[in-house]
Structures are given as C-alpha cells and as structure tokens.
Amino acid sequence: QQPVQSPQAVILREGEDAVINCSSSKALYSVHWYRQKHGEAPVFLMILLKGGEQKGHEKISASFNVKKQQSSLYLTASQLSYSGTYFCGTAYMDTGRRALTFGSGTRLQVQP
Amino acid sequence: DTAVSQTPKYLVTQMGNDKSIKCEQNLGHDTMYWYKQDSKKFLKIMFSYNNKELIINETVPNRFSPKSPDKAHLNLHINSLELGDSAVYFCASSRYNEQFFGPGTRLTVL
C-alpha cells in the first residue's frame, strides 16, 4: 500500500519554509526521505527509525509519529538548491526493513 | 569511484525485442534493487536481491528476469518488450537502511 504524500506540489520563494507530509495506512518500521532533481537519481536525505525521532540535514529535518503512522519533512529557509521532487519511502512492520514503498512525490520549486 | 553504475544510460528499441540493463555497485553492499519510475514519476520496487538471493519479487510480468551473478552485480533482462515498459529503471543498493541509487536507464520502446 503506497504512502500518501501531501501536498503534491509547492512553490516557494527563497527563504520561505515548507512542510511535506507522508501518511501510511499500515504500521511503519521506518520512513526514508529522498530528493530527486530533474533527470537525476533519487538521493538519500535521512531515515527515521523510532517513534518521535527527529533527524536533521542542513536546514532540512524530519519527524516520525509511529502512532499516527506519519512522517513530516521540514524545509527551513529554503534555498534554490532545494528544488526537486521529494519522496518518502516507507518500510512496514510486516514486510521487513528492506522493502521500501515510495509515495507519489511532492514537487518543490524554490524561486528567487 | 562511481558507487552504483548502470549501463546503458539510454536504450531505444522496438516492441518485441529482448534487452538487458546492467548494474554494478562498488560499495560492498549486500542488497541490491531494481525500481521502475514511470512518466508520472511514480517509483516502484520491482526486485530485491540479498547476497545473490531473490528476496522481493513484486507483481512484475515474468518477461522481466533479474540475475545476480555476484553481490556486486544485479542485471535486468526484459523479454518481448512492450510499449508500457518505457520508463526509467533505477538500480539501487544498500547495506543497512540507506539506499544508494544508480543514475538510471531510460528505456524507450517504439
């Protein structure tokens, strides 16, 4: 079952903040976040393994709420380089840690 | 010093042909994957191998056959190509959790 990402797309000005959400209908083992720029491969940003865990990567951080089966990605003071499509990948408790099911992606565009 | 490499980068072929995509990783990872990304950017797992053993085989037509000669290689062979097979195919590898993706192979079936 594919996780649901929202919003589908967002346009920001440099310096603005954004939140991307990822929701699952199944119990989660972990949540991965990737960014893919046009014509390139997805690049790993971070993984969240424990409930309530928050990870940071430069000005990009994420949280994981196990009870709600949700994760959110926070982009602070966005830069032009943040533009791309963000995917959450979820691993489920019943299928083990290796199998990732990706959401449909959130296209982020940062404008000057 | 490329981590995950794929060949070819582009593949244009006629319907009905058979083609292969090769993937190699030099990271010492024990698990490798094939993903398909369609025109709507939906990224879907196809196969996963752990130490040369198939561990994930999603609902994929049996025209697709992965082969892992060793831990560092996972090739994808596709028989009787169809128009709907046109997509970008990504190979990835992991040791624990983080997956490293190859540059992708853009397959176009005419």
Instruction: Categorize the per-residue pLDDT at A99 as very low, low, confident or very high, splitting at 50, 70 and 90.
Output: confident
For the ranges A68-82, A89-103, B56-70, the lowest mean pLDDT is seen at: A89-103
The Cα B73–Cα B83 span in angstroms is 27
Contact B103 A97 (CB under 8 A): no
Query: Which member of A30, A43, A105 has the closest CB to residue B97?
Result: A30
Q: What is the pLDDT of residue B1?
A: 65
CATH fold, domain A4-111, is Immunoglobulin-like (2.60.40)
Domains of chain B plus CATH, in order, are: 4-109 (2.60.40.10)
**DSSP E strand boundaries for A14-99:** 18-23, 28-36, 43-48, 54-57, 60-65, 70-75, 84-92
User: Average pLDDT of B67-79?
Assistant: 94
Q: How do the domains of chain A map onto residue ranges?
A: 4-111
Model confidence at B76: pLDDT above 90: yes
Model confidence at A110: pLDDT above 80: yes
A44 contact partners, CB below 8 Å, separation of at least 6: A32, A33, A34, B98, B99, B100
Model confidence at A94: pLDDT above 80: no
Do residues A22 and A73 make contact, with C-beta atoms less than 8 angstroms apart?
Answer: yes
The Cα B69–Cα B52 span in angstroms is 7
Q: What is the pLDDT of residue B41?
A: 87
Per-residue pLDDT tens digits for B8-48: 999 999 999 999 999 999 999 999 999 999 988 899 999 88
Q: What is the pLDDT of residue A70?
A: 93
Per-residue pLDDT tens digits for A33-89: 999 999 999 999 999 986 666 677 678 999 998 889 999 999 999 999 999 999 999
Contact B43 A97 (CB under 8 A): no
Q: What is the pLDDT of residue A96?
A: 58
The Cα A47–Cα B48 span in angstroms is 19
Q: What is the DSSP letter of A1?
A: -
Query: Which member of A40, A49, A104 has the closest CB to residue B42?
Result: A104
Q: What is the pLDDT of residue A106?
A: 97
For A98, the token pair is: 């290796």
User: Average pLDDT of A4-11?
Assistant: 96
Q: What is the pLDDT of residue A67?
A: 86
Model confidence at B60: pLDDT above 80: yes
The Cα B29–Cα B79 span in angstroms is 28
Q: What is the pLDDT of residue A14?
A: 96
Q: What is the pLDDT of residue A98?
A: 66
* Average model confidence (pLDDT) across chain B: 92
The Cα B101–Cα B104 span in angstroms is 8
Residue carrying structure tokens 């990732």: A100
Model confidence at B61: pLDDT above 80: yes
B residues 49..78 contacting A (CB < 8 A) = 50, 55-56
Instruction: Categorize the per-residue pLDDT at A91 as very low, low, confident or very high, splitting at 50, 70 and 90.
Output: confident
B5 close contact with A: CB closer than 8 A: no
Q: What is the pLDDT of residue A92?
A: 79
The number of beta carbons lying within 10 Å of the beta carbon of residue B82 is 12
A37 close contact with B: CB closer than 8 A: no
Q: What is the pLDDT of residue A28?
A: 85
